[in-house]
Copies of this chain bind each other. A is one copy, B any other.
Amino acid sequence: MSSAVERTYDVVVLGAGSTGENLADIAVRGGLTAVLVESELVGGECSYWACMPSKALLRGTEALVEARAVDGAAQAVTGEQDVDATLARRNRFTSNWDDSGQVTWVDGAGIHLIRGTGRLAGERTVVVDTGAGEVRLTARHAVAVCTGSEAAVPPVDGLDAIDAWTPREATSAKEAPARLLILGGGYVGCEMATAWQALGSQVTLFQRGERLLDGLEPAAGEAVAASLRARGVEVRLGCEITAARRDGEGVVATTSHGDLRGDELLVAVGRRARTSDIGVDTVGLEPGEYLEVDDTMQVDGIPWLYAAGDVNGRRQLTHMGKYQARQAGAAIVARARGEEVSTADWSPFVATADHAATPSVVFTSPQIASVGRTVAEAEEAGLPHRVVEYPIGDVAGASLFADGYTGTAIAVVDTEREVLLGMTFIGPAVAELLQAATIAVVGEVPISRLWHAVPAYPTVNEIWLRLLETYRG
C-alpha cells in the first residue's frame, strides 16, 4: 500500500449531512479550518431521503384537504391531485438526488470536502478511503462525528432477505406501489401512510404497540389513527410480525393478525447509530452504539471528540442536529481560542433545549406539533404540573380556517414556577403554531406575562387565550 496523503485541519467532521455541514460552517466562521468527509451525498438524509422528500410528498395533499374544507373553495377542487407532478415536485426538492448544489455551498462556506469513507484511527485522526487511495487527516482541535443514523431492521425471520423498503425507498420511490405494507406506527410510518395512500396506494399500517406515535400525547396517535382509517388506510394495532417472505405477487408479512400482503413492505421501526464501521473502537468506544456526549456534544472522556446529530441518540431530528451543531461548533471554537466555555443551562455552548424544549412536527393529517414535556414526562419527572386542554375547533379562527375544524391543544403548566413545560397541538395546519410554544417554554415566560401576549383575532392562535382562560378557571 502506498503511503497515505496526510493533511491537518483544526476540525475534522465525519459526515456531511445537515449537522456536519452546520458544525463545519460554525468552525470556519470562527476562524478555524474544517474538512467534511462524506461517503454518500453531501446534504445527508434530510435532503434526499427524509424531511425534504417526505414533506414534498405530503404538502399537495394537505393543501387540497385545506381547500376542500372551505365551502365555496371546495367547489373549485373538481380534479384529482396529479401524482406524476407531485413526484416530480418531490424530485425537484431532492435536486434529483444530485448534491452539486450542496457542494457549491460547502465550497462557498470555505469548508474542504473529501469524498470517501472516513474512519477514526486513534487520537485526533481520521483515515479516509477515497476509492483512489487513503487520506490521513489530523485534527488540531476536534473530530466531530456526524454520521447520523440508519433504519433499524428488527430480527424477524426472513425480513433481511426480502429487500424491504427503508424510509429511503419510501421517500424516493418513483411510483406508488399498488399495495404498501408499513411496519411501524411512529412518525415515519404515519407520514408515509398518509402520503402514499393519497398518491394511490392501498396502505396497511401495522405495529405491535397499541398506540400510534408512541411518546407523544396519546390523543395524537388516536387522532392520526382515526384519520388514516377515514382515508382508507388499514391500521392494525397489536399486530406482531413473525416472519416475512417474497412470493410471486409481492411481499407477505406473517403476523399475529394473519398474513398481510403487499407489493412492498416499508420497515419503519426506528433508527440505529451509524457507528458500526467508523473506527470508534480505535478510541475505546463500542461500534454500533450511540456516542454518549455532554451538553456541548463532547464525547464522555474524550475531550477532542464530539458527536452531534442522530449519532448521539439524544434527539433524532434534523433541526435538533443542526442546533447541536451550532452549540458544539461554538464550544469547539471557544475552546480552540482558550476561552472559557460555560456549560450552564442555556449558555451559547450547550444544547439545553435537547432536554427542555425539543420541538417536533408530524406532518400527518391532522398534523401533530409538540414541544417540551408531555403529561407523562412531567409526571415521570415529578414536576408539579397542571394539564390544560382545549378544543381548537372552538376558536373562531379555526372555524374560519376550515369547516368542521377538529383539533386539540394540550398544555402542561408548571404550577410551582408558573411557566409552560410543554404543549401539543393536534389539528390541521398546526405546524406553524408550534414556534410560539417553543419560545414560551425556552423563554420560561411566566403565565402572568403570557396573558399580555394577545393573539390576533381571528387566528387559530386564539387557542392561547382559551388555554390561559381555562388555566385561570
Contact = CB atoms under 8 A, between A and B. Distances in A.
Number of copies: 2
A85 B71 contact: yes
Interface string A132-153: 0000000000000000000000
27 contacts: A52-B458, A60-B73, A63-B67, A63-B73, A64-B67, A70-B89, A71-B88, A75-B82, A76-B77, A76-B80, A76-B82, A77-B78, A77-B79, A320-B454, A348-B448, A352-B452, A357-B452, A357-B453, A361-B456, A361-B459, A369-B456, A429-B432, A431-B459, A435-B464, A436-B439, A438-B453, A439-B450
A415 to B, nearest CB: 18
Closest 5 CB pairs of A and B: A72-B86, A60-B73, A443-B445, A75-B82, A319-B457
Given A63-B73, A352-B452, 12 more contacts: A51-B457, A51-B458, A63-B69, A71-B86, A72-B81, A72-B85, A73-B82, A319-B462, A432-B459, A436-B438, A439-B439, A443-B445
Given A67-B77, A70-B59, A396-B52, A461 B443 contact: no
Interface string A400-439: 1101000000000000000000000000010111111011
Contact of A436 (B86, B435, B462): B435
A360 interface: yes
A256 B56 CA distance: 50
A24 B359 CA distance: 38
Interface of A: 46, 51-52, 55-56, 59-61, 63-64, 66-67, 69-83, 85-89, 93, 317-320, 322-323, 326, 346, 348, 352-353, 357-361, 369, 396-397, 399-401, 403, 429, 431-436, 438-440, 442-443, 445, 448-462, 464
Nearest to A85: B72
Contacts of A464: 435
Contacts of A449: 346, 442-443
B432 A453 contact: no
